Structure 1
């Protein structure tokens, strides 16, 4: 589709500006998709998500609980309504069965009907202090939420009993003190029922919803406030970012193992998106840079300065750094042939010019030989006037002076 070839990365900022970026192998093109006269206290973009499977519509959730719908084909906002319900900003947004799903900090999970007068179709109270809401990409009716002192919980929009899973905290530590909870992000693992979460207290946990309520793997990353997590194309691995600019890959097998670390950050990582099949990692941070890393080689492939503090990120599923070559028409073929013919003419003319230069060089040779003869005659005259060689003269001994 034509609209997919224009922009392949979309970024939401703290100032409310919605940006689009076209990333290629050699160049990155940035474009502001919204106006600049915005109020950060009301227009900050706190959540973003795709509105359909074709990735044509983009859903944006603002700090003042306003929902905007951006059409990537028409390059304009097609819908804008107030989704006021509960307190706090929108912490997650998605679409389910033609309706828009939003989650706010106070724990209200609402399903809104679209139209001239949107209304609440379904409402669920999940719990207080929600930091993140994620929709299962493989089972759209499953919603995961978590936050400060609100552990991971799964909600089914179609089931009668909405809450299908509620995580249980790990046992007390070695001092017999309760381990605090602050879920900052959630990731659904590929081709499995497992879910990974990260915490502001440095906890990285993996849950198996069919096995037990407590995590099957629990890792501690000391002195790091983990802010974002994403499942990558490598099986059983996730990418984790922290508030100190740490971005690394973690192997969630056995007891868990930290592997690759990706460098270049000067601010806290805000959001991470990994390509589902290719080895690409996209991230945004508070240093206002959009970065693209290679999953295996850890190489920084692209780095784009976007002039604003960045919050959230979207990447197309067909993302690629290679530019697709369009089919050339007959007119293009004729235009390409013309330079080739002119190049042949240019080479022939150049050969003629070189022949003229060499002929002139041959004509100048007699003058050069006559000059050389004159120089040799002058040298012979000069040698005749030189001083005699003193090497054959026997040196005389000096008489010693007799002291009186």
Structure 2
């Protein structure tokens, strides 16, 4: 699979762009909404899935199934906003600001830091955090009592108004300690921990809408950001953004249920996949999405449903052969009865037609009789009138 995505419906989705195939690998409910994803190791053979109920599940990309499930917090402590593997250990971060480090087989956190916001790694023991009204901080997990770096408040505006903080996403610049962040106030900041100022060494403003995600391309010289209005062909907020580790490609997903892959060179849309669910997070594999990979042998949910239906048909055929024959005989008898009824209906209709024709003939005869009577009356009337005229003429002659 080229891209892995987590959905609001609790589904882990794998997309193979080369084969134009999308597969669902779990069937959880909305209470198991997928909020964070990360690789379980350098080989990309495992995907760690952080759910809204505080469960972290391990998915094997080789077996195509979930292998391990462990609880890393309660649902009331806030959803996961960050997740990362630290060798055999696991670090989680919640929306309420709790950063915890868990041993491989332990159910209790060995390290807990109240930091807030997202979490991004810089090395095996260094992470960056930030959130709403919580400026950027860099922590050493081996000494979590105090942050290694804490960003200073931004300078007030020219009206002496305080500028609020709301870090939405961050990333460490490659081969550097510098950190780039994006905020809900459409700002992009670059911090240098070695600088005594502790304020951004570079600041840029993008658009007018809150920024939601950022990612660094492979060249390390540019920053890709996304906001609540999409502006990458999306019709809704972009919730996740990630550049390919080595190719000039960038993948994005969000509320419009589409996975989009764009080219960073010409900014054209390369691939677009509709995935039916609102998407929260994604992982971009290091493989080339344009080269076809061997298919992953997994049992999809649709195949399981097909097996259930096949089993139901098999039981019916095994136990109901005679029942089917009886049903067929009943159907035949019903067909015969229907045919006889149809014949009776046809005969009745013919009788009705004959009666209607006889009635019409009788009416025609009556009309003919009436016409003949009228003709006879007219002739008799004319004869009487002619006789009366002759009598009148004779009388006149006699008088003369």
Tell whether the structures are fold-level matches, with TM greater than 0.5.
Answer: yes
Q: Cα deviation per residue 1:48-89 (whole Å; 9 max; x = unaligned)?
A: 111111111111111121111111111111111221267211
- After TM superposition, give the deviation of residue 224 of structure 1 in Å: 1.1
Matches within 5 A, 1:19-34: 19-24=13-18, 27-34=19-26
Alignment match, 1:351:
none
The match for 2:158 among 174, 177, 180 is: 174
Partners of 1:288 and 1:318 lie apart in 2 by: 23
1:10 lines up with 2:10 in the alignment: no
The match for 2:176 among 187, 192, 208 is: 192
Partners of 1:323 and 1:44 lie apart in 2 by: 30
1:235 lines up with 2:220 in the alignment: yes
Partners of 1:55 and 1:324 lie apart in 2 by: 15
Higher relative contact order (Cα pairs below 8 Å, separated by 6+ residues)? 2
Partners of 2:108 and 2:60 lie apart in 1 by: 22
- After TM superposition, give the deviation of residue 222 of structure 1 in Å: 4.1
Matches within 5 A, 1:279-294: 279-294=248-263
- After TM superposition, give the deviation of residue 134 of structure 1 in Å: 1.1
Q: Is the 8 A contact 2:113 2:144 kept in 1?
A: no
Partners of 2:48 and 2:73 lie apart in 1 by: 16
Tell which structure's C-alpha radius of gyration is larger. Answer: 2
The match for 2:277 among 308, 318, 333 is: 308
Alignment match, 1:50:
39
Structure with a larger share of its residues in strand: 1
- After TM superposition, give the deviation of residue 279 of structure 1 in Å: 0.5
SS at match of 2:117: strand
Partners of 1:162 and 1:67 lie apart in 2 by: 27
Structure with a larger share of its residues in helix: 2
Q: After TM superposition, which residue ranges in structure 1, 4 or more long, deviate above 6 angstroms? A: none
Unaligned stretches of 5+ in structure 1? 1-6, 247-262, 327-404
1:67 lines up with 2:56 in the alignment: yes
Q: Does the C-alpha gap of structure 1 residues 120 and 237 become closer, same or farther in structure 2, counting only changes over 3 Å?
A: same
Partners of 1:244 and 1:156 lie apart in 2 by: 35
SS at match of 1:73: coil
- After TM superposition, give the deviation of residue 276 of structure 1 in Å: 2.5
Count of residues paired in the alignment = 293
SS at match of 2:77: coil
Alignment match, 2:311:
none
Partners of 2:207 and 2:289 lie apart in 1 by: 35
TM (norm. structure 2) is 0.70
Partners of 2:294 and 2:280 lie apart in 1 by: 33
The match for 1:93 among 70, 80, 83 is: 83
SS at match of 1:223: coil
**Over aligned residues, Cα RMSD in angstroms?**
1.8
Partners of 1:290 and 1:160 lie apart in 2 by: 37
- After TM superposition, give the deviation of residue 191 of structure 1 in Å: 2.3
Partners of 2:14 and 2:293 lie apart in 1 by: 19
Q: Is the 8 A contact 2:249 2:264 kept in 1?
A: yes
Alignment match, 1:318:
287
